[in-house]
Amino acid sequence: MNSSDNALLTIEGKTYSLPIVHGTEGERAIDISKLLQETGCTTLDLGYKNTASCTSRITFLNGNKGILSYRGYGIEELAEKCLFIEVAYLLVHGHLPTATEYDHFRNLLNRFSLIHEDMIHFFDHFPPSAPPMAILSVMVNSLCSYYPEMNDDLTTDIDLTAARLISKIRTIAAFSYKKSLGKPLIYPRPELPYCANFLNMMFDNPVEPYTVRPEAVAALNKLLILHADHEQNCSTATVRLVGSAGVNLYASIAAGINALWGPLHGGANEAVIAMLEAIHQDGGNFQKYIDKAKDKSDAFKLSGFGHRVYKTFDPRGKIIKNACDELLAVLNVHDPLLEIALRLEEVALKDAYFIERNLFPNVDFYSGIIYRALGIPTNMFTVMFALGRLPGWIAQWKEQQEDPRSKIGRPRQVYMGEPARPFVPMSER
Ligand code: SDX
């Protein structure tokens, strides 16, 4: 990060010089760290559309060019050539693992793949209709009770805790699914790699053995890689903000899970399927839904379309769309919702409303088609997003904890309420 020039700001005739910070890829930011102290003014930026909350060495996005990279590696190459666990290691540790480092990481993930047997009783007390994201955040938050080392000292073996979380979240997700069906839990198996182990825990059962298909494992690895990090999105910013108060990693991640749940964020992957199913039920009348999305009097938004940063195709969406075709062909699955999604995209991208606003399909538009082909229920799609995003959340939390400049996050506001006024006792109101 170098500051080689300044921005000039004039307020009531006085000019202030603010340093401009330059990022690795040429991004520029005006450093306003001393703005309030020097000018008495804060800045107002609803939704933080124009605000960088931190510097980071983890992920780079270029929203105009549709570029996404983790630690300098392009997402396309990582999705094509890596396993999810390699990318998780890259995000958390800053480099791709050597064979020795990878084996050590895999052994840790195996060692940590069980959850405390007492935690299994937690599942008995959720109603069958409990949202999987609610269960996930409760269970992840509860891990700090079983591994209290970080409760007092956040720097206590972050890397071990990272491996513990990455491994256990997979078991928690699969166990919650089995419990929701009243089916026996399938425990992790030491010989199965990360994604195969998850699919086996989800779909194996004692009387109908599940065959883990390599094509399904490959598709899941790719999906989890594509979701692994995305700079300062809503849930990652939440993890950082909660962590900035000195909260342990488990509880910070649980906060991120809750932020991801929203239909404007990670919950969109489930909302996309609901939208496509509604269009399917409606005889494929996608124009009706495009018109609803354009109607300002209607709160409906086209789920899976649009993005705060990408103003062109989301590079992840392009890869997932191609992976859809490959997986459905090899599994010989015909999903009518894919045809509807393809037509919806085609018509929307020719519509002036979407063109003028640079609204393109995002990561959530096609991901549900793959999850469906894998047999994952719709109400677990956002859980799948969380499984993928976990290494990114951990890497971002760790980076903040290790930054000596880090402070508790505490934005300001502009007060627009009542001016000071005298108290009136109730008898006189
Ligand atoms: C994720 O930030 C990340 O990186 C997130 C994520 C990650 O990896 O972490 O990429 C994952 O959350 C992807 C986004 C998933 N959400 C959805 O698919 C929900 C549908 N999309 C929209 O709600 C919206 O596009 C957002 C929330 C994604 C972005 O909202 P912004 O940046 O606040 O943009 P905006 O609401 O100001 O929209 C600008 C204009 C508005 O119209 P005008 O007021 O200019 O007339 O575009 C319109 C919006 O009404 N618009 C849409 C639309 N998205 C934006 N209109 C119809 N359908 C949509 N989907």
Structure tokens at 286: 């996608």
- Tell me the average pLDDT across 7-18: 97
Q: Is the same domain home to 40 and 134?
A: no
- Say if residues 43 and 51 touch (Cβ distance below 8 Å): yes
Distance from C-alpha of 334 to C-alpha of 327, rounded to nearest angstrom: 10
Cα 306 to ligand 1 centre (Å)? 4
Q: Which residue, by CA, sits nearest to atom 45 of ligand 1?
A: 357
What percent of the chain shows pLDDT beyond 90?
A: 96
Give the position of tokens 């064979």: 99
> What pLDDT is attached to residue 297?
96
**Per-residue confidence at 154, pLDDT binned at 50, 70, 90?**
confident
CB proximity list for 228: less than 8 A, separation 6 or greater: 70, 84, 87, 88, 91, 388, 389, 391, 392
Relative to the CA of 265, which ligand 1 atom is closest? 12
Quick check: 2 pLDDT over 80? no
Which residue of 307, 382, 393 sits with most ligand 1 atoms within 8 Å of its CB, as the best mutation to test the pocket? Answer: 307
Nearest to 169 by CA among 254, 270, 82: 254
CB of 233 within 6 A of ligand 1: the answer is yes
> What pLDDT is attached to residue 4?
55
Q: Is 114 contained in some domain?
A: yes
Entry pTM:
0.97
Q: Is the same domain home to 306 and 175?
A: yes
Report which DSSP code applies to 151: H
Q: Is the same domain home to 188 and 319?
A: yes
Q: Is 64 contained in some domain?
A: no
Q: Is the same domain home to 28 and 99?
A: no
Q: Is 327 contained in some domain?
A: yes
Q: Is 5 a catalytic residue?
A: no
Q: Which residue, by CA, sits nearest to atom 8 of ligand 1?
A: 230
Relative to the CA of 293, which ligand 1 atom is closest? 57
CB of 306 within 6 A of ligand 1: the answer is yes
Q: Which domain holds residue 26?
A: 2-52
pLDDT in tens, 351-376: 999 999 999 999 999 999 999 999 99
Q: Which residue, by CA, sits nearest to atom 41 of ligand 1?
A: 357
Q: Is the same domain home to 284 and 201?
A: yes
Helix (H, G, I), strand (E, B) or coil at 210: coil
Distance from C-alpha of 40 to C-alpha of 133, rounded to nearest angstrom: 43
Distance from C-alpha of 175 to C-alpha of 138, rounded to nearest angstrom: 14
> What pLDDT is attached to residue 263?
96
Structural domain count, the chain: 2
Q: Is 13 contained in some domain?
A: yes
CA atoms within 13 A on the CB side of 279: 26
CATH number of the domain within which 47 lies: 2.20.28.60
Cα 308 to ligand 1 centre (Å)? 6
Relative to the CA of 314, which ligand 1 atom is closest? 10
CB of 68 within 6 A of ligand 1: the answer is no
Helix (H, G, I), strand (E, B) or coil at 388: helix
Q: Is 304 contained in some domain?
A: yes
> What pLDDT is attached to residue 150?
81
Q: Is the same domain home to 46 and 185?
A: no
List 204, 229, 314, 364, catalytic entry: 364
**Per-residue confidence at 155, pLDDT binned at 50, 70, 90?**
confident
Q: Is the same domain home to 14 and 83?
A: no
- Say if residues 40 and 28 touch (Cβ distance below 8 Å): no
List 307, 314, 325, 334, catalytic entry: 307
Q: Is the same domain home to 117 and 151?
A: yes
Q: Which residue, by CA, sits nearest to atom 4 of ligand 1?
A: 233
Structure tokens at 9: 């700001």
Distance from C-alpha of 301 to C-alpha of 136, rounded to nearest angstrom: 27
Q: Which phi and psi (to 5°) does residue 129 adopt?
A: -90, 5
CATH number of the domain within which 189 lies: 1.10.580.10
- Tell me the average pLDDT across 414-419: 98
Q: Is 417 contained in some domain?
A: no
Give the position of tokens 């990652």: 236
**Per-residue confidence at 149, pLDDT binned at 50, 70, 90?**
confident
Q: Is 212 contained in some domain?
A: yes
Cα 363 to ligand 1 centre (Å)? 12
What does pLDDT average to over the chain? 96
Q: Is 307 a catalytic residue?
A: yes
CB of 104 within 6 A of ligand 1: the answer is no
Paired sense of beta strands 14-22 and 2-11, if any: antiparallel
CB of 363 within 6 A of ligand 1: the answer is yes
CB proximity list for 1: less than 8 A, separation 6 or greater: 21, 22, 23, 55
Q: Is 323 contained in some domain?
A: yes
Cα 310 to ligand 1 centre (Å)? 10
Q: Which phi and psi (to 5°) does residue 69 adopt?
A: -140, 145
pLDDT in tens, 65-117: 999 999 999 999 999 999 999 999 999 999 999 999 999 999 999 999 999 99
pLDDT in tens, 32-43: 999 999 999 999
